Amino acid sequence: MVDFTLSDPDRDILSGVAEEAKASEKYARHYDAHEDEILPKAFVEAAAFPSLLERMRRRPSDDTPSVIMQMLIRIEREAHNGVPLRQAPSALGNAALGAAGTPAQQKRWGHLMLAMSITEPGAGSDTKAIQTTAVLDGDEWVLNGDKIFVTNGVRCHGTIVWATVSKAAGRGGIKSFLVLKGTPGFELVRKEKKLGIRSSDTAAYAFRDCRIPRDHLIGGDERVPQSADEGSASYKGVLKTFNITRPTVAAGGIGKALGAFRYARDRLAKEGIAVDWDKGPHDRTSTEQTLLELEADIEAATLTVLRAAWLAARGEPNNLEASVAKAKGGELCRSGPQRAMELLGAMSLSHDHPVEQFLRDGRITDIYEGTGQIQRLVIARAILGYSSAELS
């Protein structure tokens, strides 16, 4: 049966998450103003709250699928202007390792925090254009190239790096490799300075004749496919992880918009401004109308995330829906906080209030993990039946 309600235990989980996020709000401005600092592994306040795993452990299996709950939890968390009280032990590279690594590799490195280095100064959206090379020399791969915008790149133990073993083979020549911090020739060049999400460390790396053992090739498949259209297993494996990470990223942007919306709604209510659901559009002020439309847009984007997650939970293909969710979340992370600020007026510009930070922190959603344009390309290809060569 179609249903959009949560069970009481799940509501409790979400309010627990909200409480925890609230307890972290006092740190938000500090890390926003001190970008050079890295978040501690755990704040003292963390002790008062169960871990996510503990929260989820008590759930019965016949309730809302846990992937959906994870999305809702992400939205609720991000709707607070806070910082994670506990740092997640894993990062994007772990997802890639899980999707494409051999069982032995997963066992060996799964406990480490692994970042994901795909983007380069000269290639972002167009991942197949990366220039970093990997050359087999005896029993070692030799890596050369530059990577930028590596999330968790400062605090991670190592990273998965995309490099080409054969430029002529195009996408098929791209493989992923595991490089641990401390490997000679692997340099952390700098920590990037950003518009927002400043408590999240973003690194730039350089690889100069960086030698790694032969078995650090993720998935272990050294063959180079002949046709350029045929992506290598590890390339495809990583793309597959996007089917969950795209809705998750979208959920982050939705959360920021929701936080900004709640703030605007509650503060305006104190000024006597609120949506009266009985009134028609002709009897609403433009402020009330904007509040209403913003809430509708948040509902809409949230539903796309739930839909993509629901398909994933059922093991059904959700590539298209994951991009729909990311496109909607990306749109909302921009228009949501923007409108919330317009609703509140000039005081929303001040650091006294969290809305301006919601705008800055949320804005990333339409950029990483595929920009809004890239999501539209994915969607357009899927509905038109075009390959990436046919529509680029």
Ligand X SMILES: Cc1cc2nc3c(=O)[nH]c(=O)nc-3n(C[C@H](O)[C@H](O)[C@H](O)COP(=O)(O)OP(=O)(O)OC[C@H]3O[C@@H](n4cnc5c(N)ncnc54)[C@H](O)[C@@H]3O)c2cc1C
Instruction: Please list the residues that pair with 206 across neighbouring strands.
Output: 146, 187
Q: Is 321 a catalytic residue?
A: no
d(CA 274, CA 117): 46
Amino acid at 321: E
Give me the phi and psi of 307, to 5 degrees please: -65, -50
Nearer to ligand X, 118 or 312 (CB): 118
* In the complex, least distance from residue 370 CB atom to ligand X, rounded to whole angstroms: 6
Amino acid at 354: P
Residues that bind ligand X (CB under 6 A): 92, 115-119, 124-125, 149-151, 194, 202, 364, 367-368, 371, 373-374, 377, 392
Nearer to other proteins, 20 or 297 (CB): 297
Nearer to ligand X, 35 or 295 (CB): 35
Residues that bind other proteins (CB under 8 A): 1-7, 62-65, 68, 277-283, 292-293, 295-297, 299-301, 303-304, 306-307, 310, 321, 324, 327-328, 373, 375-377, 379-380, 383-386, 390-391
- Residue 280 binding partner per list other proteins, ligand X, none, with a CB distance cut-off of 5 to 8 Å that depends on partner kind: other proteins
Give me the phi and psi of 263, to 5 degrees please: -60, -50
Look-up: residue for tokens 């590279």? 93
- Residue 117 binding partner per list other proteins, ligand X, none, with a CB distance cut-off of 5 to 8 Å that depends on partner kind: ligand X
Nearer to other proteins, 226 or 387 (CB): 387
Structure tokens at 124: 């972002």
**Nearest CA to 141 among 225, 93, 218, 210?**
210
Q: Helix or strand or coil: residue 211? A: strand
Measured CA distances, 247 to 68, 204, 294, 357 (Å): 10, 26, 20, 22
* In the complex, least distance from residue 142 CB atom to ligand X, rounded to whole angstroms: 21
Structure tokens at 226: 């002949």
- Residue 285 binding partner per list ligand X, other proteins, none, with a CB distance cut-off of 5 to 8 Å that depends on partner kind: none
* In the complex, least distance from residue 124 CB atom to other proteins, rounded to whole angstroms: 17
- Residue 194 binding partner per list other proteins, ligand X, none, with a CB distance cut-off of 5 to 8 Å that depends on partner kind: ligand X
- Residue 138 binding partner per list ligand X, other proteins, none, with a CB distance cut-off of 5 to 8 Å that depends on partner kind: none
* Residues whose CB is less than 8 angstroms from the CB of residue 78 and which lie 6 or more positions away in sequence, other chains included: 251, 252, 253, 254, 255, 256, 258, 259, 362
Look-up: residue for tokens 């495809």? 236
Report the DSSP pairing between strands 158-164 and 114-117.
parallel
Nearer to other proteins, 88 or 380 (CB): 380
* In the complex, least distance from residue 305 CB atom to ligand X, rounded to whole angstroms: 19
* In the complex, least distance from residue 174 CB atom to ligand X, rounded to whole angstroms: 12
* In the complex, least distance from residue 262 CB atom to ligand X, rounded to whole angstroms: 25
Find the catalytic residue in 20, 35, 369, 390: 369
- Residue 368 binding partner per list other proteins, ligand X, none, with a CB distance cut-off of 5 to 8 Å that depends on partner kind: ligand X
**Nearest CA to 217 among 174, 157, 182, 186?**
174
Q: Using the CB atoms, write b or e for 260-280: b if 16+ within 10 Å.
A: bbbbbbebbeeeeeebeeeee
Nearer to ligand X, 24 or 151 (CB): 151
Q: Helix or strand or coil: residue 339? A: helix
Active-site residue numbers? 369
